Structure 1
Amino acid sequence: MAVGLALGALVVLALFVYRPAFTGVIVLAVVIGLWELSARLTERKDIRVPLVPLALGGAAMVVAGYLRGAEGAWAGLAVTGLAVLVWRMVRPPAGYLRDVTAGVFAAFYVPFLATFVALMLAADDGSWRVLTFLILTIVSDTGAYAVGWRFGRRKLAPRISPGKTREGLAGAVVFAMTAGALCLHFLIDDAVWWQGLLMGLAVAASATLGDLGESMIKRDLGIKDMGTLLPGHGGIMDRLDSLLPTAPVCWALFLLFAGSH
Protein backbone atom coordinates (compact mmCIF):
# COMPACT_ATOMS: atom_id res chain seq x y z
CA MET A 1 0.00 0.00 0.00
CA ALA A 2 2.76 2.44 0.95
CA VAL A 3 4.62 1.74 -2.30
CA GLY A 4 1.47 2.37 -4.34
CA LEU A 5 0.71 5.62 -2.52
CA ALA A 6 4.27 6.87 -2.97
CA LEU A 7 4.21 6.12 -6.69
CA GLY A 8 0.81 7.79 -7.02
CA ALA A 9 2.02 10.93 -5.25
CA LEU A 10 5.07 11.12 -7.52
CA VAL A 11 2.89 10.80 -10.61
CA VAL A 12 0.41 13.48 -9.53
CA LEU A 13 3.16 15.93 -8.55
CA ALA A 14 4.98 15.49 -11.84
CA LEU A 15 1.79 15.74 -13.90
CA PHE A 16 0.30 18.84 -12.33
CA VAL A 17 3.18 20.81 -10.79
CA TYR A 18 5.58 20.77 -13.77
CA ARG A 19 4.28 18.70 -16.65
CA PRO A 20 7.55 18.24 -18.61
CA ALA A 21 9.02 16.63 -15.49
CA PHE A 22 6.69 13.71 -16.08
CA THR A 23 8.79 12.77 -19.10
CA GLY A 24 11.53 12.13 -16.55
CA VAL A 25 9.22 9.75 -14.69
CA ILE A 26 8.56 7.90 -17.96
CA VAL A 27 12.29 7.75 -18.79
CA LEU A 28 13.12 6.43 -15.31
CA ALA A 29 10.48 3.70 -15.59
CA VAL A 30 11.71 2.79 -19.09
CA VAL A 31 15.37 2.51 -18.10
CA ILE A 32 14.62 0.41 -15.01
CA GLY A 33 12.21 -1.75 -17.00
CA LEU A 34 14.84 -2.37 -19.68
CA TRP A 35 17.41 -3.24 -17.03
CA GLU A 36 15.05 -5.75 -15.40
CA LEU A 37 14.12 -7.34 -18.72
CA SER A 38 17.72 -7.57 -19.95
CA ALA A 39 18.89 -9.02 -16.62
CA ARG A 40 16.23 -11.74 -16.69
CA LEU A 41 17.01 -12.58 -20.32
CA THR A 42 20.69 -12.99 -19.47
CA GLU A 43 20.05 -15.03 -16.32
CA ARG A 44 17.48 -17.41 -17.76
CA LYS A 45 18.27 -17.62 -21.48
CA ASP A 46 21.85 -16.33 -21.78
CA ILE A 47 20.54 -13.63 -24.14
CA ARG A 48 22.69 -10.52 -23.85
CA VAL A 49 20.83 -7.53 -25.22
CA PRO A 50 22.88 -4.32 -25.65
CA LEU A 51 21.56 -2.39 -22.64
CA VAL A 52 23.48 0.87 -23.16
CA PRO A 53 22.03 1.76 -26.59
CA LEU A 54 18.62 0.54 -25.43
CA ALA A 55 18.63 2.78 -22.37
CA LEU A 56 19.98 5.83 -24.19
CA GLY A 57 17.75 5.25 -27.20
CA GLY A 58 14.73 4.62 -25.00
CA ALA A 59 15.24 7.87 -23.12
CA ALA A 60 15.70 9.76 -26.38
CA MET A 61 12.59 8.10 -27.81
CA VAL A 62 10.41 9.38 -24.97
CA VAL A 63 11.77 12.93 -25.19
CA ALA A 64 11.48 12.93 -29.00
CA GLY A 65 7.88 11.76 -28.74
CA TYR A 66 7.03 14.56 -26.30
CA LEU A 67 8.75 17.26 -28.36
CA ARG A 68 8.20 16.07 -31.93
CA GLY A 69 5.12 13.87 -31.80
CA ALA A 70 4.61 10.49 -33.44
CA GLU A 71 7.28 11.16 -36.06
CA GLY A 72 9.83 11.63 -33.29
CA ALA A 73 8.77 8.36 -31.68
CA TRP A 74 9.14 6.37 -34.89
CA ALA A 75 12.49 7.99 -35.67
CA GLY A 76 13.70 7.19 -32.16
CA LEU A 77 12.70 3.55 -32.53
CA ALA A 78 14.50 3.25 -35.87
CA VAL A 79 17.71 4.85 -34.55
CA THR A 80 17.61 2.72 -31.39
CA GLY A 81 17.19 -0.46 -33.44
CA LEU A 82 20.15 0.50 -35.62
CA ALA A 83 22.26 1.31 -32.56
CA VAL A 84 21.48 -2.13 -31.10
CA LEU A 85 22.65 -3.80 -34.32
CA VAL A 86 25.90 -1.83 -34.38
CA TRP A 87 26.67 -2.02 -30.64
CA ARG A 88 26.43 -5.80 -30.59
CA MET A 89 29.08 -6.06 -33.32
CA VAL A 90 31.89 -5.51 -30.82
CA ARG A 91 31.24 -8.98 -29.35
CA PRO A 92 31.85 -12.35 -31.08
CA PRO A 93 29.39 -13.31 -33.85
CA ALA A 94 27.99 -16.30 -31.95
CA GLY A 95 24.49 -15.42 -30.77
CA TYR A 96 24.41 -12.13 -32.70
CA LEU A 97 21.02 -12.69 -34.33
CA ARG A 98 19.50 -13.91 -31.05
CA ASP A 99 20.81 -10.93 -29.07
CA VAL A 100 19.84 -8.21 -31.55
CA THR A 101 16.40 -9.75 -32.11
CA ALA A 102 15.78 -9.63 -28.37
CA GLY A 103 17.18 -6.09 -28.29
CA VAL A 104 14.84 -4.82 -31.00
CA PHE A 105 11.93 -6.55 -29.26
CA ALA A 106 12.89 -4.84 -25.98
CA ALA A 107 13.10 -1.45 -27.74
CA PHE A 108 9.58 -1.87 -29.06
CA TYR A 109 8.05 -3.44 -25.98
CA VAL A 110 9.28 -1.00 -23.35
CA PRO A 111 10.36 2.49 -24.58
CA PHE A 112 8.35 2.65 -27.79
CA LEU A 113 5.05 1.72 -26.15
CA ALA A 114 5.86 3.99 -23.19
CA THR A 115 6.44 6.87 -25.62
CA PHE A 116 2.70 6.98 -26.29
CA VAL A 117 2.30 8.28 -22.74
CA ALA A 118 4.56 11.18 -23.72
CA LEU A 119 2.46 11.72 -26.84
CA MET A 120 -0.66 12.00 -24.68
CA LEU A 121 1.17 14.34 -22.31
CA ALA A 122 2.07 16.73 -25.14
CA ALA A 123 -1.59 17.71 -25.75
CA ASP A 124 -2.92 20.93 -24.20
CA ASP A 125 -4.86 18.87 -21.67
CA GLY A 126 -2.15 16.23 -21.57
CA SER A 127 -2.02 15.96 -17.79
CA TRP A 128 -5.70 14.99 -17.70
CA ARG A 129 -5.30 12.56 -20.58
CA VAL A 130 -2.44 10.77 -18.85
CA LEU A 131 -4.31 10.75 -15.55
CA THR A 132 -7.36 9.26 -17.28
CA PHE A 133 -5.18 6.60 -18.93
CA LEU A 134 -3.68 5.67 -15.56
CA ILE A 135 -7.05 5.64 -13.78
CA LEU A 136 -8.68 3.41 -16.39
CA THR A 137 -5.83 0.92 -16.42
CA ILE A 138 -5.65 0.72 -12.63
CA VAL A 139 -9.43 0.46 -12.31
CA SER A 140 -9.48 -2.31 -14.94
CA ASP A 141 -6.82 -4.29 -13.05
CA THR A 142 -8.62 -3.69 -9.75
CA GLY A 143 -11.98 -4.78 -11.16
CA ALA A 144 -10.46 -7.93 -12.61
CA TYR A 145 -8.82 -8.82 -9.31
CA ALA A 146 -11.81 -8.00 -7.08
CA VAL A 147 -14.45 -9.75 -9.16
CA GLY A 148 -12.17 -12.66 -10.04
CA TRP A 149 -11.25 -13.23 -6.39
CA ARG A 150 -14.88 -13.17 -5.26
CA PHE A 151 -16.74 -14.77 -8.15
CA GLY A 152 -14.08 -16.29 -10.41
CA ARG A 153 -14.83 -19.85 -11.49
CA ARG A 154 -14.03 -20.26 -15.18
CA LYS A 155 -10.40 -19.89 -16.20
CA LEU A 156 -9.61 -17.35 -18.91
CA ALA A 157 -6.22 -18.65 -20.06
CA PRO A 158 -5.13 -21.44 -17.71
CA ARG A 159 -1.93 -22.31 -19.57
CA ILE A 160 -0.73 -18.70 -19.44
CA SER A 161 -2.11 -17.24 -16.22
CA PRO A 162 -4.06 -19.72 -14.06
CA GLY A 163 -5.31 -16.98 -11.74
CA LYS A 164 -7.23 -15.09 -14.42
CA THR A 165 -10.91 -15.87 -14.88
CA ARG A 166 -13.65 -14.92 -17.30
CA GLU A 167 -15.59 -13.42 -14.42
CA GLY A 168 -12.55 -11.27 -13.63
CA LEU A 169 -12.44 -10.08 -17.22
CA ALA A 170 -16.12 -9.13 -16.99
CA GLY A 171 -15.32 -7.18 -13.82
CA ALA A 172 -12.49 -5.37 -15.60
CA VAL A 173 -14.86 -4.40 -18.43
CA VAL A 174 -17.60 -3.08 -16.11
CA PHE A 175 -15.20 -1.17 -13.85
CA ALA A 176 -13.21 0.33 -16.75
CA MET A 177 -16.29 1.33 -18.76
CA THR A 178 -17.81 3.05 -15.72
CA ALA A 179 -14.57 4.88 -14.96
CA GLY A 180 -14.17 5.77 -18.64
CA ALA A 181 -17.62 7.37 -18.85
CA LEU A 182 -16.94 9.44 -15.71
CA CYS A 183 -13.40 10.48 -16.69
CA LEU A 184 -14.20 11.54 -20.24
CA HIS A 185 -17.30 13.41 -19.11
CA PHE A 186 -15.62 15.34 -16.29
CA LEU A 187 -11.91 15.51 -17.17
CA ILE A 188 -11.51 15.64 -20.96
CA ASP A 189 -12.60 18.63 -23.04
CA ASP A 190 -14.51 17.91 -26.27
CA ALA A 191 -15.27 14.33 -25.18
CA VAL A 192 -18.58 12.83 -24.05
CA TRP A 193 -19.51 10.03 -21.67
CA TRP A 194 -20.38 7.37 -24.25
CA GLN A 195 -16.91 7.69 -25.75
CA GLY A 196 -15.62 6.84 -22.29
CA LEU A 197 -17.59 3.60 -22.40
CA LEU A 198 -15.78 2.62 -25.59
CA MET A 199 -12.42 3.66 -24.18
CA GLY A 200 -13.06 1.68 -21.01
CA LEU A 201 -13.91 -1.42 -23.03
CA ALA A 202 -10.74 -1.02 -25.10
CA VAL A 203 -8.62 -0.49 -21.99
CA ALA A 204 -10.01 -3.62 -20.32
CA ALA A 205 -9.08 -5.62 -23.42
CA SER A 206 -5.58 -4.15 -23.87
CA ALA A 207 -4.73 -4.30 -20.15
CA THR A 208 -5.76 -7.96 -19.99
CA LEU A 209 -3.78 -8.82 -23.12
CA GLY A 210 -0.78 -6.93 -21.75
CA ASP A 211 -0.93 -8.86 -18.49
CA LEU A 212 -1.21 -12.15 -20.38
CA GLY A 213 1.64 -11.14 -22.66
CA GLU A 214 4.03 -10.54 -19.80
CA SER A 215 2.84 -13.74 -18.15
CA MET A 216 3.89 -15.56 -21.33
CA ILE A 217 7.34 -13.97 -21.13
CA LYS A 218 7.74 -14.86 -17.45
CA ARG A 219 6.57 -18.43 -18.03
CA ASP A 220 9.07 -18.80 -20.86
CA LEU A 221 11.79 -17.46 -18.57
CA GLY A 222 10.62 -19.61 -15.65
CA ILE A 223 10.24 -16.71 -13.19
CA LYS A 224 7.45 -15.31 -11.02
CA ASP A 225 8.43 -11.62 -11.10
CA MET A 226 10.64 -9.50 -13.33
CA GLY A 227 12.33 -7.87 -10.35
CA THR A 228 12.26 -7.08 -6.64
CA LEU A 229 12.53 -3.29 -6.69
CA LEU A 230 9.01 -2.68 -5.34
CA PRO A 231 8.38 -4.63 -2.10
CA GLY A 232 5.22 -6.69 -2.47
CA HIS A 233 4.80 -5.68 -6.12
CA GLY A 234 7.75 -7.32 -7.87
CA GLY A 235 9.66 -5.14 -10.32
CA ILE A 236 8.85 -2.11 -12.43
CA MET A 237 8.01 -4.36 -15.38
CA ASP A 238 5.45 -6.16 -13.23
CA ARG A 239 3.66 -2.79 -12.84
CA LEU A 240 4.03 -1.80 -16.49
CA ASP A 241 2.62 -5.01 -17.99
CA SER A 242 -0.91 -3.65 -18.50
CA LEU A 243 0.11 0.00 -18.90
CA LEU A 244 2.46 -0.42 -21.87
CA PRO A 245 0.01 -1.90 -24.44
CA THR A 246 -2.78 0.32 -23.14
CA ALA A 247 -0.86 3.55 -23.83
CA PRO A 248 -1.13 3.45 -27.67
CA VAL A 249 -4.80 2.41 -27.40
CA CYS A 250 -5.66 5.41 -25.22
CA TRP A 251 -3.56 7.76 -27.34
CA ALA A 252 -5.37 6.70 -30.52
CA LEU A 253 -8.82 6.99 -28.92
CA PHE A 254 -8.03 10.41 -27.43
CA LEU A 255 -6.91 11.48 -30.91
CA LEU A 256 -10.21 10.22 -32.34
CA PHE A 257 -12.50 11.60 -29.63
CA ALA A 258 -10.81 14.84 -28.54
CA GLY A 259 -8.22 15.68 -31.21
CA SER A 260 -4.50 16.21 -30.82
CA HIS A 261 -4.65 19.49 -28.85
Structure 2
Amino acid sequence: MPGNGGGQGTKKKSAGRDLRAAIGVGVGLGVVIVASLFIYKPVFIGVIAVAVVVGLWELTSRLAERKDIRVPLVPLAVGGVAMVVAGYVRGAQGAWVAVSLTALAVLVWRMTEPPDNYLRDVTAGVFAAFYVPFLATFVALILAAEDGPWRVLTFLLLTVVSDTGAYAVGWRFGKHPLAPRISPGKTREGLLGAVAFAMVVGALCMQYLIEDGVWWQGLLLGLAVAVSATLGDLGESMIKRDLGIKDMGKLLPGHGGIMDRLDSLLPTAPVVWLLLVIFVGGG
Protein backbone atom coordinates (compact mmCIF):
# COMPACT_ATOMS: atom_id res chain seq x y z
CA MET A 1 0.00 0.00 0.00
CA PRO A 2 1.17 3.56 -0.58
CA GLY A 3 3.16 5.32 2.07
CA ASN A 4 3.09 8.87 3.31
CA GLY A 5 6.83 9.46 3.20
CA GLY A 6 7.22 9.96 -0.55
CA GLY A 7 9.83 12.43 -1.71
CA GLN A 8 12.02 12.54 1.38
CA GLY A 9 15.36 14.27 1.16
CA THR A 10 18.77 12.89 2.12
CA LYS A 11 18.42 14.18 5.66
CA LYS A 12 15.37 11.99 6.10
CA LYS A 13 16.94 8.64 5.27
CA SER A 14 15.95 7.28 8.65
CA ALA A 15 12.19 7.61 8.91
CA GLY A 16 12.00 6.23 12.43
CA ARG A 17 9.79 3.33 11.38
CA ASP A 18 10.27 -0.44 11.51
CA LEU A 19 11.10 -1.09 7.85
CA ARG A 20 10.73 -4.87 8.07
CA ALA A 21 7.33 -4.56 9.71
CA ALA A 22 6.28 -1.97 7.14
CA ILE A 23 7.29 -4.21 4.23
CA GLY A 24 5.67 -7.27 5.78
CA VAL A 25 2.39 -5.51 6.47
CA GLY A 26 2.42 -3.90 3.03
CA VAL A 27 2.96 -7.22 1.25
CA GLY A 28 0.31 -8.91 3.39
CA LEU A 29 -2.24 -6.21 2.64
CA GLY A 30 -1.38 -6.39 -1.04
CA VAL A 31 -1.97 -10.13 -1.18
CA VAL A 32 -5.33 -9.86 0.58
CA ILE A 33 -6.47 -6.99 -1.62
CA VAL A 34 -5.45 -8.54 -4.94
CA ALA A 35 -6.86 -11.94 -3.97
CA SER A 36 -10.24 -10.47 -2.99
CA LEU A 37 -10.24 -8.33 -6.13
CA PHE A 38 -9.99 -11.21 -8.57
CA ILE A 39 -11.77 -13.99 -6.67
CA TYR A 40 -15.16 -12.32 -6.18
CA LYS A 41 -15.99 -8.64 -6.67
CA PRO A 42 -18.37 -8.31 -3.68
CA VAL A 43 -15.57 -9.49 -1.38
CA PHE A 44 -13.49 -6.51 -2.48
CA ILE A 45 -16.45 -4.24 -1.81
CA GLY A 46 -16.33 -5.61 1.72
CA VAL A 47 -12.64 -4.74 1.93
CA ILE A 48 -13.42 -1.16 0.88
CA ALA A 49 -16.24 -0.94 3.42
CA VAL A 50 -14.00 -2.17 6.27
CA ALA A 51 -11.27 0.31 5.32
CA VAL A 52 -13.87 3.12 5.26
CA VAL A 53 -15.26 2.29 8.71
CA VAL A 54 -11.82 1.97 10.31
CA GLY A 55 -10.64 5.15 8.59
CA LEU A 56 -13.67 7.05 9.88
CA TRP A 57 -13.09 5.70 13.38
CA GLU A 58 -9.46 6.89 13.31
CA LEU A 59 -10.36 10.32 11.95
CA THR A 60 -13.24 10.97 14.37
CA SER A 61 -11.19 9.69 17.31
CA ARG A 62 -8.32 12.06 16.55
CA LEU A 63 -10.73 14.99 16.09
CA ALA A 64 -12.24 14.27 19.51
CA GLU A 65 -8.87 13.80 21.23
CA ARG A 66 -7.04 16.75 19.75
CA LYS A 67 -9.76 19.32 19.01
CA ASP A 68 -12.70 18.16 21.15
CA ILE A 69 -14.78 17.91 17.96
CA ARG A 70 -17.56 15.38 18.57
CA VAL A 71 -18.43 13.81 15.22
CA PRO A 72 -21.16 11.13 15.39
CA LEU A 73 -19.46 7.94 14.18
CA VAL A 74 -22.50 5.65 13.90
CA PRO A 75 -24.34 7.50 11.10
CA LEU A 76 -21.02 8.10 9.35
CA ALA A 77 -20.06 4.43 9.45
CA VAL A 78 -23.47 3.16 8.36
CA GLY A 79 -23.74 5.84 5.69
CA GLY A 80 -20.18 5.18 4.53
CA VAL A 81 -20.88 1.50 3.93
CA ALA A 82 -24.12 2.45 2.20
CA MET A 83 -22.25 4.82 -0.12
CA VAL A 84 -19.80 2.13 -1.20
CA VAL A 85 -22.51 -0.48 -1.78
CA ALA A 86 -24.83 2.00 -3.52
CA GLY A 87 -22.01 3.16 -5.78
CA TYR A 88 -21.25 -0.41 -6.82
CA VAL A 89 -24.88 -1.45 -7.31
CA ARG A 90 -26.53 1.77 -8.54
CA GLY A 91 -23.63 3.80 -9.89
CA ALA A 92 -22.87 7.47 -9.32
CA GLN A 93 -26.53 8.36 -8.78
CA GLY A 94 -26.82 5.84 -5.96
CA ALA A 95 -23.65 7.19 -4.36
CA TRP A 96 -24.97 10.76 -4.40
CA VAL A 97 -28.23 9.71 -2.77
CA ALA A 98 -26.32 7.81 -0.07
CA VAL A 99 -23.98 10.69 0.71
CA SER A 100 -26.89 13.13 0.92
CA LEU A 101 -28.75 10.87 3.36
CA THR A 102 -25.55 10.39 5.38
CA ALA A 103 -25.08 14.15 5.75
CA LEU A 104 -28.71 14.47 6.87
CA ALA A 105 -28.25 11.62 9.36
CA VAL A 106 -25.19 13.35 10.86
CA LEU A 107 -27.19 16.56 11.37
CA VAL A 108 -30.08 14.70 13.01
CA TRP A 109 -27.94 12.39 15.16
CA ARG A 110 -26.02 15.32 16.63
CA MET A 111 -29.33 16.87 17.72
CA THR A 112 -29.55 14.29 20.51
CA GLU A 113 -26.77 16.15 22.33
CA PRO A 114 -26.58 19.72 23.71
CA PRO A 115 -26.50 22.47 21.05
CA ASP A 116 -23.08 23.78 22.08
CA ASN A 117 -20.68 23.54 19.09
CA TYR A 118 -23.40 21.91 16.97
CA LEU A 119 -22.34 23.72 13.79
CA ARG A 120 -18.68 22.85 14.32
CA ASP A 121 -19.40 19.16 14.92
CA VAL A 122 -21.78 18.64 12.00
CA THR A 123 -19.48 20.55 9.66
CA ALA A 124 -16.65 18.19 10.59
CA GLY A 125 -19.04 15.27 10.16
CA VAL A 126 -20.04 16.28 6.64
CA PHE A 127 -16.36 16.84 5.81
CA ALA A 128 -15.55 13.33 7.07
CA ALA A 129 -18.38 11.86 4.98
CA PHE A 130 -16.97 13.36 1.81
CA TYR A 131 -13.30 12.88 2.64
CA VAL A 132 -13.38 9.15 3.43
CA PRO A 133 -16.42 7.14 2.23
CA PHE A 134 -17.49 9.35 -0.68
CA LEU A 135 -14.03 9.38 -2.26
CA ALA A 136 -13.67 5.65 -1.54
CA THR A 137 -16.93 5.06 -3.40
CA PHE A 138 -15.14 5.88 -6.65
CA VAL A 139 -13.14 2.67 -6.19
CA ALA A 140 -16.47 0.81 -6.18
CA LEU A 141 -17.48 2.69 -9.33
CA ILE A 142 -14.22 1.61 -10.99
CA LEU A 143 -14.83 -1.99 -9.93
CA ALA A 144 -18.37 -2.02 -11.33
CA ALA A 145 -17.07 -2.01 -14.93
CA GLU A 146 -16.92 -5.35 -16.75
CA ASP A 147 -13.13 -5.29 -16.52
CA GLY A 148 -13.34 -3.66 -13.10
CA PRO A 149 -10.70 -5.77 -11.34
CA TRP A 150 -8.08 -4.80 -13.92
CA ARG A 151 -9.07 -1.15 -13.64
CA VAL A 152 -8.80 -1.25 -9.85
CA LEU A 153 -5.46 -3.04 -10.10
CA THR A 154 -4.24 -0.27 -12.42
CA PHE A 155 -5.46 2.35 -9.93
CA LEU A 156 -3.66 0.64 -7.04
CA LEU A 157 -0.45 0.01 -8.99
CA LEU A 158 -0.20 3.61 -10.17
CA THR A 159 -0.76 5.02 -6.69
CA VAL A 160 1.79 2.67 -5.12
CA VAL A 161 4.33 3.28 -7.87
CA SER A 162 3.84 7.05 -7.60
CA ASP A 163 4.53 7.01 -3.87
CA THR A 164 7.44 4.60 -4.30
CA GLY A 165 8.99 6.71 -7.03
CA ALA A 166 8.62 9.84 -4.93
CA TYR A 167 10.30 8.19 -1.96
CA ALA A 168 13.11 6.53 -3.92
CA VAL A 169 14.09 9.56 -5.99
CA GLY A 170 13.54 12.04 -3.16
CA TRP A 171 15.54 9.91 -0.73
CA ARG A 172 18.48 9.73 -3.11
CA PHE A 173 18.40 13.07 -4.92
CA GLY A 174 15.99 15.31 -3.03
CA LYS A 175 17.37 18.75 -2.23
CA HIS A 176 14.58 21.24 -2.93
CA PRO A 177 11.57 21.11 -0.57
CA LEU A 178 8.18 20.86 -2.24
CA ALA A 179 5.99 22.19 0.57
CA PRO A 180 8.21 22.76 3.62
CA ARG A 181 5.46 24.20 5.83
CA ILE A 182 3.25 21.16 5.27
CA SER A 183 5.62 18.22 4.79
CA PRO A 184 9.32 19.15 5.08
CA GLY A 185 10.46 15.73 3.83
CA LYS A 186 8.85 16.06 0.42
CA THR A 187 10.98 17.40 -2.40
CA ARG A 188 10.51 18.58 -5.96
CA GLU A 189 12.87 15.86 -7.09
CA GLY A 190 10.61 13.33 -5.38
CA LEU A 191 7.60 14.69 -7.25
CA LEU A 192 9.46 14.30 -10.54
CA GLY A 193 10.25 10.73 -9.54
CA ALA A 194 6.59 10.08 -8.83
CA VAL A 195 5.61 11.49 -12.22
CA ALA A 196 8.23 9.47 -14.11
CA PHE A 197 7.47 6.17 -12.39
CA ALA A 198 3.70 6.59 -12.68
CA MET A 199 3.79 7.59 -16.34
CA VAL A 200 5.87 4.56 -17.33
CA VAL A 201 3.68 2.12 -15.39
CA GLY A 202 0.55 3.93 -16.59
CA ALA A 203 1.57 3.42 -20.22
CA LEU A 204 2.17 -0.29 -19.58
CA CYS A 205 -1.11 -0.75 -17.72
CA MET A 206 -3.24 0.99 -20.32
CA GLN A 207 -1.57 -0.91 -23.15
CA TYR A 208 -1.68 -4.39 -21.61
CA LEU A 209 -4.26 -4.47 -18.80
CA ILE A 210 -7.10 -2.20 -19.91
CA GLU A 211 -9.26 -3.29 -22.83
CA ASP A 212 -9.16 -0.73 -25.69
CA GLY A 213 -6.56 1.30 -23.81
CA VAL A 214 -3.46 2.71 -25.51
CA TRP A 215 -0.08 3.67 -24.11
CA TRP A 216 -0.36 7.45 -24.52
CA GLN A 217 -3.51 7.45 -22.40
CA GLY A 218 -1.46 5.75 -19.70
CA LEU A 219 1.08 8.56 -19.79
CA LEU A 220 -1.65 11.09 -19.04
CA LEU A 221 -3.19 8.81 -16.44
CA GLY A 222 0.15 8.35 -14.69
CA LEU A 223 0.78 12.09 -14.65
CA ALA A 224 -2.65 12.74 -13.16
CA VAL A 225 -2.18 10.04 -10.52
CA ALA A 226 1.21 11.40 -9.46
CA VAL A 227 -0.28 14.85 -8.96
CA SER A 228 -3.44 13.68 -7.16
CA ALA A 229 -1.53 11.24 -4.93
CA THR A 230 0.93 13.96 -3.93
CA LEU A 231 -1.87 16.43 -3.20
CA GLY A 232 -3.71 13.78 -1.18
CA ASP A 233 -0.59 13.07 0.85
CA LEU A 234 -0.08 16.79 1.48
CA GLY A 235 -3.74 17.21 2.38
CA GLU A 236 -3.59 14.59 5.11
CA SER A 237 -0.26 16.01 6.30
CA MET A 238 -2.03 19.35 6.67
CA ILE A 239 -4.75 17.72 8.78
CA LYS A 240 -2.22 15.92 10.96
CA ARG A 241 -0.21 19.11 11.47
CA ASP A 242 -3.36 20.92 12.54
CA LEU A 243 -4.11 18.09 14.97
CA GLY A 244 -0.51 17.92 16.19
CA ILE A 245 -0.02 14.20 15.47
CA LYS A 246 2.38 12.09 13.41
CA ASP A 247 -0.02 9.29 12.44
CA MET A 248 -3.78 8.89 12.40
CA GLY A 249 -3.53 5.54 14.18
CA LYS A 250 -1.32 2.62 15.18
CA LEU A 251 -3.24 -0.28 13.67
CA LEU A 252 -0.62 -1.22 11.05
CA PRO A 253 2.94 -1.80 12.36
CA GLY A 254 5.43 0.33 10.47
CA HIS A 255 2.67 2.20 8.65
CA GLY A 256 0.56 4.03 11.23
CA GLY A 257 -3.18 3.83 10.76
CA ILE A 258 -5.52 2.95 7.93
CA MET A 259 -5.95 6.65 7.12
CA ASP A 260 -2.19 6.92 6.71
CA ARG A 261 -2.49 4.34 3.91
CA LEU A 262 -5.56 5.93 2.32
CA ASP A 263 -4.19 9.46 2.05
CA SER A 264 -2.96 9.04 -1.53
CA LEU A 265 -5.63 6.57 -2.60
CA LEU A 266 -8.74 8.56 -1.70
CA PRO A 267 -8.23 11.64 -3.91
CA THR A 268 -6.76 9.52 -6.69
CA ALA A 269 -9.83 7.27 -7.04
CA PRO A 270 -12.14 9.88 -8.67
CA VAL A 271 -9.32 11.01 -10.96
CA VAL A 272 -8.69 7.48 -12.23
CA TRP A 273 -12.42 6.74 -12.56
CA LEU A 274 -13.02 9.88 -14.62
CA LEU A 275 -10.04 9.42 -16.93
CA LEU A 276 -10.83 5.76 -17.56
CA VAL A 277 -14.42 6.68 -18.44
CA ILE A 278 -13.11 9.33 -20.85
CA PHE A 279 -10.49 7.06 -22.41
CA VAL A 280 -12.26 3.67 -22.65
CA GLY A 281 -15.81 4.24 -21.42
CA GLY A 282 -17.63 3.20 -18.29
CA GLY A 283 -17.50 -0.50 -19.12
What TM-score comes out, normalization by structure 1 length? Answer: 1.00
Q: Hey, what's the Cα distance between the residues in 1 that align with 2:152 and 2:185?
A: 29
Q: CA deviation at 1:129?
A: 0.3
* Matched residue, 1:117: 139
Equivalent runs, 1:229-248 vs 2, <5 Å: 229-248=251-270
Paired residue secondary structure (2:111): helix
Equivalent runs, 1:1-261 vs 2, <5 Å: 1-261=23-283
Q: CA deviation at 1:133?
A: 0.1
Q: Hey, what's the Cα distance between the residues in 2 that align with 1:6 and 1:150?
A: 27
The number of residue pairs the alignment matches comes to 261
Question: Could you give the per-residue CA deviations for residues 8-67 of structure 1, whole angstroms, max 9, x where no partner exists?
Answer: 111111111111110000000000000000000000000010100000000000000000
Question: Could you give the per-residue CA deviations for residues 73-114 of structure 1, whole angstroms, max 9, x where no partner exists?
Answer: 111110000000000000000010000000000000000000
The AA in structure 1 aligned to 2:107 is L
Paired residue secondary structure (1:69): helix
Q: Hey, what's the Cα distance between the residues in 2 that align with 1:115 and 1:245?
A: 11
**RMSD (Å) for aligned C-alpha atoms:** 0.4
Q: Hey, what's the Cα distance between the residues in 1 that align with 2:211 and 2:80?
A: 31
Q: CA deviation at 1:217?
A: 0.1
Q: Hey, what's the Cα distance between the residues in 2 that align with 1:77 and 1:144?
A: 33
Gaps of 5+ in 1: none
Question: Could you give the per-residue CA deviations for residues 191-241 of structure 1, whole angstroms, max 9, x where no partner exists?
Answer: 100000000000000000000000000000000000000001000000000
Q: Hey, what's the Cα distance between the residues in 1 that align with 2:34 and 2:236?
A: 26
Question: Could you give the per-residue CA deviations for residues 138-159 of structure 1, whole angstroms, max 9, x where no partner exists?
Answer: 0000000000000000000000
Q: Hey, what's the Cα distance between the residues in 2 that align with 1:187 and 1:105?
A: 35
The AA in structure 2 aligned to 1:42 is A
The AA in structure 2 aligned to 1:7 is L
Which runs of at least 4 in structure 1 moved beyond 4 Å after TM superposition? none
* Matched residue, 2:12: none
Q: CA deviation at 1:190?
A: 1.0
Q: Hey, what's the Cα distance between the residues in 2 that align with 1:22 and 1:55?
A: 17
What TM-score comes out, normalization by structure 2 length? Answer: 0.92
Gaps of 5+ in 2: 1-22
Identity between Structure 1 and Structure 2 (%)? 77
Q: Hey, what's the Cα distance between the residues in 2 that align with 1:131 and 1:236?
A: 19
The AA in structure 2 aligned to 1:34 is L
